[in-house]
């Protein structure tokens, strides 16, 4: 190209940009000076699709109005002297509407465990606190996930909230992850279906839910600077598959991108993740919002980000004046900015935010019952030697120790913290950094001690705080049975340094078990923990963070009023050395220093890696005991185009119970490949049987070919196992499958 030709080209581009800007400005002036004609507007026609309505309305926006939909502030008093934006009800974030066109403001609230009230910004407002997402995943019950979503959606909309920042899908790649409790475990199929059902439940109540944190945001240590390094094929077969399934099931109106980098590019400015995978390959029709403080530049708009959220935490409002200037110079096409606002409007139309949905009738008692049911079904009986549980009928005196069991049940910390009751107890934890303001160990006032006393009126139930192990052990010798509560408080912003129980609780449990061989351990944790005392304790229960009716649910399981049916959604290792990164990457590095987190295990997350290496877990993924027993029989597998498995489940015990049968792929034509390919939940009376029929998603039988950009299922024989956990030998069968491929 000659210098003259190049100059002419630059002149033409500048002229085109000037003409486009002039058109936008003329349109803006005309729109601002011309009042809207009375009567219904074209975009108010409910017979049109959300896409059609959004296209019609978007054309009416001025440039400034369009930009106003693309960014917004936090709506909580996070900084001293900070005032709420005008029109904000007080929540995680606020995006102003356009009154001229009847576009409502977006009132955004955390999170998937219930409607939060950060900093008591809405004085005295309480909401139903659901159990942690990890407990929800332990139910293996998508119906409960949907019901919980309905609870969250109802209670959010009753407050005027129309965007709920809920739907955590990140896989638990490391048991020390600080936010594992907000997510749905280590398996893509389970996590995708549980999170997707919860999103679907929330959006059934006429508001927008998000799917987050996209993607591979699997540790809190250095979360703003961690660079997740992973091959495309491995990512597609693990973390991205979980998100893809959740997207297919839940159809979220928004996706929240993450803080971390993925293969060298920040997740909120990652062209591969946002433009290629999410919007092109998966056909996502909604909008991508940033996590609070995750935007680094205006050109993130070109890389797929549609909305800057919590803008005070960023260096500047990139999607305000800087984006306007970029449109004026042609650096960002005006058509892209229109696409951003159109996507937001499309999700608002799809959720019914323009159409005055009917008023919500919130029944807090009914919602609390959903929370209790979920907790009861997600509590996992890990060990029950000698059938010590349900509580021995011969026990006349029971000593309950530790865990603040007299006060309530523990909940996880951070932005997901729900204020369930004005009497909620909060113990300051301290610390420094941005999340220090949230560092409070909260206990929902549902006391397991009180619930046990109510259920055991003929038994003397005493309590010891556990502050002094020797004194607690002395009392333990005098009791017929001991129940010790052990807590691991996990929170956003911090990973656990190791798998031990903090504050000397392991030593306390060991002392109690030595003093009384009938010692039951109840764990309230954010994930897997080590158990150096396991051989000395005959019964262990994992209660997770059990929500605002957790105390009652725990007591129901311990006393046998509820037959436990939870199954582990994560592997409990014997030691952290069984995981790929024994030392957390990024520890001790200063803020601002980018570091790599290399996922050399690829798609072999959790139990998959244990199987590949022939390792045995302390408790495997899928493990969970019952007060009854179940047997599987009559396994039949059909192949061809779709792998289908049918089998009979029989309750062979003496009490009613629920089982979570699991179907695993053991071997593909090209070798071993451990994968959960299907699961179910059944409820059976003693002696009752039912036949379960399940089909496998071909992506779980396939490998992703990054070069060819497709899922590839080779022809040949596929071996499966119907089992009770990932290490159970179960019942094995096989079928011949045809070769198949699928677009990503």
> What are the catalytic residues?
291
Cα–Cα dist 634/614, whole Å: 28
- Per the DSSP assignment, residues forming a β-bridge with 662 are 679, 723
Q: Under 8 Å CB-to-CB from 358, ≥6 apart: which residues?
A: none
Distance in angstroms (rounded) separating the CA atoms of residues 715 and 730? 25
Count of CB atoms situated within 10 Å of the CB of 441: 17
- Whole-angstrom Cα distance, residue 244 to residue 744? 10
Instruction: Locate 491 and state its tokens.
Output: 């929170």
d(CA 378, CA 389): 17
Q: Can you tell me which residue has the tokens 């995981």? A: 579
Helix, strand, coil share (%) of the chain residues, nearest 5: 35, 20, 45
- The CA distances from residue 22 to 17, 27, 334, 374, 377, in Å, are 8, 8, 12, 57, 61
H helices within 351-440, ranges in order?
A: 364-378
Encode burial over 25-57: b for 16+ CB neighbours within 10 A, e otherwise: eeebeebeeeeeeeeeeebeeeeeebeebbbbb
Query: How crowded is residue 326: how many other Cβ atoms within 10 Å of its Cβ?
Result: 21
In degrees and rounded to multiples of 5, residue 503 shows phi and psi of 60, 35
- Dist CA 74 CA 211 (whole Å): 19
Query: Do 630 and 652 meet the contact criterion of CB atoms below 8 Å apart?
Result: yes
d(CA 134, CA 156): 22
Residues forming a β-bridge with 283: none
Tokens of 193: 């279906």
Task: Choose among 570, 551, 571, 554: nearest CA to 562.
Answer: 554
DSSP 563: -
Instruction: Tell me the three state secondary structure of residue 339.
Output: helix
DSSP 84: P
Nearest to 690 by CA among 650, 654, 730: 650
Contacts of 116 (CB under 8 A, 6+ apart): 91, 92, 109, 110, 127, 415, 416, 417, 418, 419
Nearest of 391, 388, 380 to residue 517 by alpha carbon: 388
Tokens of 677: 């390919």
Residues 462 and 474: their CA atoms lie apart, in Å, by: 13
d(CA 684, CA 722): 18
Q: Running DSSP on this structure, what letter comes out for residue 83?
A: -
Residues 111, 179 contacting (CB under 8 angstroms): no
Q: Are 615 and 711 contacting, i.e. CB atoms less than 8 angstroms apart?
A: no
């Amino acid at each position: 190209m000659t210098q003259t030709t190049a100059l002419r080209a630059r002149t033409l581009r500048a002229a085109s940009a000037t003409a486009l800007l002039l058109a936008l400005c003329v349109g803006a002036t005309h729109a601002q000076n011309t009042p809207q004609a009375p009567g219904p507007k074209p975009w108010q026609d409910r017979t049109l699709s959300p896409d059609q309505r959004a296209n019609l309305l978007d054309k009416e926006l001025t440039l400034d109005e369009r930009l106003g939909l693309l960014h917004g502030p936090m709506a909580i008093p996070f900084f001293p002297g900070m005032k709420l934006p005008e029109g904000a009800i007080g929540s995680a974030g606020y995006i102003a509407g356009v009154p001229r066109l009847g576009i409502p403001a977006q009132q955004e609230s955390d999170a998937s465990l219930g409607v939060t009230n950060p900093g008591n910004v809405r004085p005295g407002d309480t909401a139903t606190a659901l159990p942690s997402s990890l407990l929800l995943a332990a139910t293996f019950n998508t119906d409960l996930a949907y019901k919980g979503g309905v609870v969250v959606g109802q209670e959010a909309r009753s407050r005027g909230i129309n965007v709920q920042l809920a739907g955590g899908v990140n896989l638990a790649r490391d048991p020390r992850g600080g936010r594992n409790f907000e997510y749905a475990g280590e398996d893509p199929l389970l996590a995708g279906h549980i999170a997707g059902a919860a999103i679907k439940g929330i959006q059934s109540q006429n508001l927008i839910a998000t799917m987050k944190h996209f993607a591979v945001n699997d540790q809190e240590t250095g979360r703003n600077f961690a660079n997740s390094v992973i091959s495309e094929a491995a990512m597609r077969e693990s973390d991205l598959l979980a998100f893809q399934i959740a997207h297919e099931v839940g159809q979220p109106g928004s996706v929240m991108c993450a803080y971390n980098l993925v293969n060298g590019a920040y997740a909120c400015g990652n062209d591969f993740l946002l433009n290629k995978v999410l919007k092109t390959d998966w056909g996502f029709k909604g909008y991508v919002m940033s996590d609070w403080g995750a935007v680094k530049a205006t050109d993130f708009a070109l890389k797929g980000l549609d909305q800057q959220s919590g803008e005070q935490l960023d260096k500047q409002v990139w999607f305000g004046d800087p984006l306007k200037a970029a449109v004026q110079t042609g650096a960002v096409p005006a058509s892209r900015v229109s696409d951003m606002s159109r996507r937001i409007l499309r999700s608002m139309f799809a959720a019914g935010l323009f159409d005055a949905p009917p008023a919500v009738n919130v029944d807090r008692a009914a919602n609390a019952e959903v929370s209790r049911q979920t907790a009861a079904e997600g509590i996992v009986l890990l060990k029950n030697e000698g059938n010590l549980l349900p509580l021995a009928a011969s026990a006349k005196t029971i000593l309950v120790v530790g865990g603040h069991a007299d006060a309530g049940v523990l909940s996880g910390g951070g932005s997901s913290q729900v204020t369930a009751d004005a009497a909620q107890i909060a113990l300051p934890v301290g610390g420094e950094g941005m999340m220090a303001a949230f560092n409070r160990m909260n206990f929902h006032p549902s006391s397991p001690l009180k619930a046990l006393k109510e259920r055991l009126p003929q038994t003397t139930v005493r309590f010891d705080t556990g502050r002094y192990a020797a004194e607690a052990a002395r009392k333990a010798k005098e009791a017929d049975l001991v129940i010790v509560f052990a807590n691991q408080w996990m929170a956003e912003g911090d990973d656990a340094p190791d798998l031990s129980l903090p504050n000397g609780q392991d030593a306390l449990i060991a002392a109690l078990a030595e003093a009384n061989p009938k010692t039951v351990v109840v764990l309230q944790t954010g994930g897997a923990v080590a158990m150096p005392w396991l051989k000395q304790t005959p019964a262990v229960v994992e209660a997770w963070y059990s929500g605002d009716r957790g105390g009652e649910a725990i007591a129901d399981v311990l006393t046998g009023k509820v037959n436990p049916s939870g199954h582990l959604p994560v592997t409990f290792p014997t030691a952290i050395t069984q995981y790929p990164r024994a030392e957390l990457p990024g520890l001790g590095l200063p803020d601002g220093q980018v570091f790599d987190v290399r996922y050399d295990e690829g798609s072999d997350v959790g139990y998959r890696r244990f199987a590949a290496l022939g390792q045995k877990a302390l408790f495997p993924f899928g493990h969970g005991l019952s007060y009854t027993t179940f047997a599987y029989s009559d396994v039949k597998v059909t192949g061809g185009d779709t792998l289908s498995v049918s089998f009979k489940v029989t309750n062979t015990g003496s009490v009613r119970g629920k089982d979570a049968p699991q179907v695993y792929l053991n071997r593909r034509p090209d070798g071993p490949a451990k994968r959960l390919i299907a699961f179910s939940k059944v409820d059976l009376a003693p002696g009752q049987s039912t036949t379960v029929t399940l089909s496998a998603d071909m992506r779980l039988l396939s490998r992703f070919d990054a070069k060819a950009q497709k899922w590839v299922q080779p022809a040949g024989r596929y071996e499966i196992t119907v089992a009770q956990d990932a290490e159970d030998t179960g019942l094995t069968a096989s079928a011949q499958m045809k070769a198949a491929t699928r677009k990503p």
